[in-house]
Amino acid sequence: MQAPDTPQGMRLAALITLVVGLAASATTATAADGPSGWLEIENGRGIVQITGKGGLNGRIVSGSLQITDLSPGDEWSPWVSGLPRGKVVSVRGENVTFRVPAGRYQVVARGEGISISARGTGQAILDGEPDAVGATGFYRIGDRPQQALPAGVIRVSFGGKDPKTSGPSGKIKP
């Protein structure tokens, strides 16, 4: 066994100190922002507007998408259909995939077949548009049961200390 004051022992001690320090900083940052949570939209139809902090992945079968990077000074940019884009992205089409790897963002998705997974903290305004049989898709906040997207406007929050749902409020961007 090597003595702790050898170069290998010192490197190991430095590595352990670094890992413990990073874990402590990550815990402190998470506690300051509140607990992380998630919001999932599955096969949604209508309009979904999410303003959040964290990461987000999604797909729209048919419709339009607008992503605004609310932290343009950071290193993260939205990706749409596999390509990095600028700080504000607007697209219309079919089978559009998108992601925001990290940071603060606002996403407005309109159309059908909207599937989104957002991790972190934030708020969403949901406005389902029923199809011929009344289906609007589904949403889930954290571990709560899955619910149908409402056929009227509601605001929901995810992450933070107390995720909640409220009645009609907020305005969806045009």
pLDDT digits (tens, 9 = 90+) for 96-112: 999 998 999 999 999 99
Give the pLDDT confidence score for residue 49 in this predicted structure.
Answer: 97
Do both 7 and 68 map to the same domain? no
Give the pLDDT confidence score for residue 92 in this predicted structure.
Answer: 93
Give the pLDDT confidence score for residue 81 in this predicted structure.
Answer: 85
Do both 44 and 117 map to the same domain? yes
103: domain range? Answer: 37-166
Do both 1 and 82 map to the same domain? no
The whole-model pTM stands at 0.72
Do both 87 and 135 map to the same domain? yes
Give the pLDDT confidence score for residue 36 in this predicted structure.
Answer: 67
From first CA to last CA, the distance across the chain in angstroms is: 68
Give the pLDDT confidence score for residue 4 in this predicted structure.
Answer: 52
Taking a C-beta distance cutoff of 8 angstroms, is the pair 146, 138 a contact? yes
Taking a C-beta distance cutoff of 8 angstroms, is the pair 54, 64 a contact? no
Report the domain count for the chain. 2
Do both 98 and 12 map to the same domain? no
Contacts of 120 (CB under 8 A, 6+ apart): 36, 37, 38, 52, 53, 54, 55, 158, 159
Do both 14 and 89 map to the same domain? no
Give the pLDDT confidence score for residue 11 in this predicted structure.
Answer: 56
Give the pLDDT confidence score for residue 160 in this predicted structure.
Answer: 77
Q: Could you say which residues of the chain have pLDDT below 70?
A: 1-36, 161-174
Give the pLDDT confidence score for residue 111 in this predicted structure.
Answer: 96
CA dihedral sign of residues 60, 47, 67, 123: negative
